[in-house]
Amino acid sequence: MNRWAFPNPFKRNHCVPVAIAHLAGTDAAGAVRIAERAYETERLTFNDFDDRQAVVNGVPVLLTRGGSAHNTRIDANVRKWGDIGGLKFGNHTKFFREESPTLARFCREHRTGMWLVFVANHAVAVIRGRAWGYYGSRSRVQDAYPAERVGAPQVGPERRVATRPGARIGDIIKARLAAGDGTRAVLAAVFAAYPQARTTAACVAWYRNQARKKGSPQ
C-alpha cells in the first residue's frame, strides 16, 4: 500500500528521507534536498556489533547514494535526521515481538500527533493516524518516535532554474541538466510541475545522453 503527499522522486529505497519529508511537511524537491544533506553528513554513530554500517570512503554516513540508511534506529542517528528535517523527536517506544502492534493498529491508536515509525527494514511517517509513503498495514511496528516540527529543514535552498511558463517536461529536464542537477533533482522539478507525470530516471538518462552526443557537458 502507499499514500503520498508528493510524487516519489526516488527510484528505490530512501524510505527514511521520504518519511522525514512527510513529517517536515515538505514536497518532492524538499525530500531530494533532505537526502542530499544526509549524503553529506558524516561521523555517524554506529553499533560495533552491527556490520551493516553505511560507509563511504571509510566514513560512516547517514545515507548511501543507493538510498540505504543502516543503523538508523540508533537514537543519536534518528536525532541527526531530525536536525536535517527541522524536527524534534521525543522519547521513543520500543516494541518487542510479543506486544508489537501492526502498523494499522498503531495508526488507529494514534489519531493525533506525528510519528516516525520503524517496521522491519523500513521507515514510515504516521501523521494523525495515517501512514505516508510505502507501507504494509500488517507490518509489525518495532520502534516509534513522536515528532514535532521546530523549524525549517536544515538544507540548502532549492536552486531556481529559469523555465518559461507552461514549459514541457522535456524543456524542464533539459534546463535542469544544463544547470548541473542530478537525476533526483530533475525528477523532483518535473513532478513539481506535472504531478501526474510518468517520467523516470531512464527518461532523464536519455536526455543526458542526447546532450552528450550534441557536445553539451551534462
pLDDT higher than threshold 70 for residue 155: no
- Mean pLDDT for all residues in the chain: 81
Neighbours of 31 (CB within 10 A): 29
**Residue at which a domain ends, from 99, 117, 149:** 149
The predicted structure's pLDDT at residue 48: 37
Rg (CA), the chain: 18
The domain in which residue 119 lies consists of 2-149
CA nearest to 54, candidates 30, 32, 81: 81
Residue 77: its H or E element = helix 75-85
The residue among 116, 149, 182 that closes a domain is 149
Q: Residue range 20-33: average pLDDT?
A: 90
Q: According to the model, what pLDDT value does residue 107 have?
A: 95
pLDDT for the residue numbered 59: 59
> Per DSSP, what are the bridge partners of residue 144?
93, 117
Cα 206 to its chain centre, rounded Å, is 25
Of the pLDDT bands very low, low, confident and very high (cuts 50, 70, 90), residue 18 is very high
Is 164 a domain residue?
A: no
**Is residue 159 a part of any domain in this protein?**
no
| CB atoms closer than 10 angstroms to residue 93 | 14
Same domain, 136 and 208: no
Predicted pLDDT at 161 = 52
* Pair (130, 209) in one structural domain: no
Rounded Cα distance between 203 and 169, Å, is 10
For β-strands 143-149 and 87-89, DSSP reports them as antiparallel
Ranges of beta strands (E only) in 63-205 are: 87-89, 93-94, 114-119, 122-127, 130-134, 143-149
41-45, 82-86, 151-155: the lowest-pLDDT one: 41-45
Beta pairing partners, 116: 125, 145
Distance (Å) of CA 86 to CA 26, 48, 142:
11, 28, 24
- What pLDDT digit, counting tens, does each position of 29-81 carry? 888 888 888 876 654 444 433 444 555 555 566 777 677 777 777 788 899 89
pLDDT at 179 over 90: no
Answer left, alpha or beta for residue 70, where phi above 0 means left and psi between -120 and 50 means alpha: beta
Residue 54 lies in a domain: yes
10 Å CB burial of residue 38 (0-12, 13-18, 19+) is buried
Residues 189 and 83 in one domain: no
| 111 in the same domain as 64 | yes
CA-CA-CA-CA dihedral for 176, 181, 187, 191, to nearest 10: -50
Clarify whether residues 138 and 185 are in a common domain: no
